[in-house]
Structure 1
Amino acid sequence: MSQFDRVPPHTGNQRAHRRGTPCSSYTRIVTVHSQPLIGATIDARYRVDAFVARGGMATVYRATDLRLDRTVALKVMHGSLAEDHEFVARFVREARAAAQLSHPAIVGVYDQGEADGFVYLAMEYVDGQTLRDVLKKRGRLTPLEALSVIEPVLEALIAAHNGGFAHRDIKPENVLISTDGRVKVADFGLARAIVTSETTGLTQGLLIGTVAYLAPEQVERGVADARTDVYSAGIVLYESIVGQTPFTGETPMSVAYQHVHAHVPAPSAIRPEIPHQVDELVLTATKQDPTQRFADASDFANSLRTVRSLLPSESPGANSESRTVILDRTESTVTVGPWTTTPVPPSPGSAAAASAAIASAGAATGVLPNAPGMQGPPGGPWVATGSNETTVQPIPEPQVVEAGGNAEPPAPPEQPKQRRPRRFRILIAALVLALIGAATGVGAWAYTKSQIVTVPSLVGMSPAEAKATLAPNDVNLAVAGEDFSATVPKGAILLTDPAAGTTIKRGETVTARTSAGPQTVKLPKVTGLKQAKAEANLRAIGLTAQSSEEFSDSVDKGVVISSDPKTGTVVQVGSAVSLVVSKGPPPVTVPSVVAMDRASAVAKLQSLGLKVAIRNQLPVVVVGRVYSQNPGPGTVIPKGSTVTITLV
Structure 2
Amino acid sequence: MKGKMLSNRYEIITKIGAGGMANVYQARCTVLNRIVTVKILREELAEDKDFVRRFQMEAQAVASLSHPNIVSIYDVGEEDGLPYLVMEYVEGTNLKEMIRRRGALPPSEAISIGVQVCAALEHAHSKGIIHRDIKPHNILVTPGGRVKVTDFGLARVLSIPSATVTQSGTVMGSVHYFSPEQARGEEATPQSDIYSLGVVLYEAVSGKVPFQGDNPISIALKHLQEDPPGLRDENPAIPEELEEIILRAMSKSPAKRFQSAREMQKALSDGFISEDYEDYTEERTHYLAPVSKNQVGIERRKRRLHPAAIGTLVLLFLIFLAGAVWGFFKWYFGETVAVPEVVGYSQAEAEQKLKAAGLEAEVLTTYEEDSDEGIVVRQLPAAGMKVKKGRLVQIWVNKGKPLVWLPETTGTPEREAKIALESRGFQVRITREHSETVPEGYVIRQTPAGDRNYTEGSLITLVVSEGPVPRNIPVPKLIGLNVEQAKATLEAVGLVLGEVREQPSEKYEQGVIISQSIEPGTLIRKGDPVDVVQSSGLIEEPEVKTLDFRVHNTGEVRVVIKDAKGTRVAYQQIHEAGDRVKIPFEVYTPGEIEVYFQGQLVDKYKIDD
TM-score tier (shorter): 0.3 to 0.5
Q: So what's the TM-score if we normalise by structure 2? A: 0.44
Structure (1/2) with the larger strand percentage? 2
Which structure has the larger Rg over C-alpha atoms? Answer: 2
The two structures have a TM-score, normalised by structure 1, of 0.41
